[in-house]
Amino acid sequence: MATLQSCSVCLRESALQLPRHHLTDNYMSRTAKWKCPRAAVIPNFHLPMRSFEVKNRTSVDDIKSLRLITAIKTPYLPDGRFDLEAYDALVNMQIENGAEGVIVGGTTGEGQLMSWDEHIMLIGHTINCYGGSIKVIGNTGSNSTREAIHATEQGFAVGMHAALHINPYYGKTSLEGLVAHLDSVMSMGPTIVYNVPSRTGQDIPPRVIHRLAQSFNFAGIKECVGNDRVDQYTDKGIVVWSGNDDECHDSRWNHGATGVISVTSNLVPGLMRELMFGGKNPSLNAKIMPLVEWLFQEPNPIGLNTALAQLGVVRPVFRLPYVPLPLAKRVEFVNLVKQIGRENFVGEKDVKVLNDDDFVLVSRY
């Protein structure tokens, strides 16, 4: 009996000790061989979405020198997805006709109707395909500071040259809050501030811009209030782009604006370049004015979307809530093209009136 008990104790001790000894050796062996991943020990390593690591770093002065920037249209397929083939053709036509920059996903490009995934993808596509030929300015602004920061980080991470930022709309803030909002995104790279009170419901007054202008990354302001406001900035050496196509000639040549961020240049980029580069030209300005007035009789980009479809350079597809101009207005556009000259417009197809049934309105995409 004593012998059996002794054997039992020995077996129990072996059963308890052997596994512990085995596990300890195995743990030590694995610990000895494991090494920290190489990336984790590289000095100053940043995650891919850090705005400090960009593929196409450009200087603020490069942005400040741009005279013709087109707020590029975003075309669609019949199911509402981006038509990148048509988009690429539009960008190429801007480059060929002398535009120096494009705003991607702005009001004209219907950034307000895009998901952020779509938005950043389109910025990345544009910079990867055309970043060596034209400056790509991504509209990464938002009325949410959190969203504006995140979108701007992503925009610079995919390589955009500069960001366009609007003041918080609808849920308006104080002037101190406005400064804090814009300060939080300007540290990431060259920034154009966009003032369009007719859309945001709040003016960005000069005293705010003068504070923001102290930032190294402040490139300038897209100003839509008028040429009296342009004077207040250019007198202080602040770069201004006119946001009003009907005022841009006088802004450039009489009030010291650097240039224009234009909607009309989607249609007649060559004429708009001449308007910004060729010196005072009241006759050319007068020639373009009927087209400008036609474009903005309804909120932008309704007129532009209609016109590009009539020119045959994009499909007649609208993401709601935008709908095409009525038949009578489309007839007016055909006559305008004839008056100004078809050769001055983008595309090569004959301009058409189009029937109401030709247009596709997409509510879900």
233 catalytic? Reply is: no
| Residue type for position 152 | T
CB 101 within 8 A of CB 82: no
Q: Which residues pair with 220 in a beta bridge?
A: 192
CA 70 to chain centre: 11
Assess whether 280 carries a catalytic annotation: no
Is the alpha carbon torsion for 223, 228, 229, 230 positive or negative? Answer: positive
- CA of 319: how far to CAs of 81, 143, 327, in Å? 9, 22, 19
Of residues 222, 233, 236, 287, which has the active-site annotation? 222
Catalytic residue among 87, 194, 233, 322: 194
Look-up of token digits 């406001």? 229
Positive or negative, the Cα torsion across 63, 69, 71, 73?
negative
Please give the positions annotated as active site.
Answer: 194, 222
